[in-house]
Amino acid sequence: MKTDSSMPPTLQPGLTGEVTITVTDDLTAVAFGSGTVRVYGTPALIALLEEAAIRAVHDHLPDGQITVGTRLDVQHLAATPVGMTVTATATLKEIDGRRLVFEVEASDAVERIGAGTHERFIVDLARFQAKVNAKQAD
């Protein structure tokens, strides 16, 4: 594990973030266009797992720093019906400079529905936004 001396000492492996939602019609595969069944959609699962990772580290980043998702390897293991709750958890497993690697998983009220790994990078928000804005100017 490479550490960056500019990172606060509280940014350490083991940090965990958690998010719980209730599946609604706008979170289904049908709503996202990713399937034809009215169950929790994979795109919604991905977003929830990313949100859990953000929550795990957000309060431990220096001012002006954020994380951006760069890689996700997740299996969507089981279907969840509308009305059921889903809880996603992300645990920071590795820090390599600005690269953060999380173990992510999600469960509904009955079973584990998703699991995998997620990678995020720490970036300077102002610099990142400037690059995005420059693309629009072209």
> How far is 128 from 93, CA to CA, in rounded Å?
25
Q: One of 28, 50, 89, 105 is an active-site residue; which one?
A: 50
Of residues 28, 36, 58, 76, which has the active-site annotation? 76
Is 50 noted as a catalytic residue in this protein? yes
Query: Is 22 tagged catalytic?
Result: no
Pairwise CA distance, residues 102 & 91, whole Å: 5
Q: Pick the catalytic residue: 42, 87, 94, 103? A: 42
Radius of gyration (C-alpha) of the chain in whole angstroms: 17
Residue 12, number of CB atoms within 10 A of its CB? 14
Instruction: Tell me, yes or no, if 42 is annotated catalytic.
Output: yes
Q: Which of 82, 71, 84 is nearest to 118 (CA)?
A: 71
Active site amino acids? 42, 50, 76
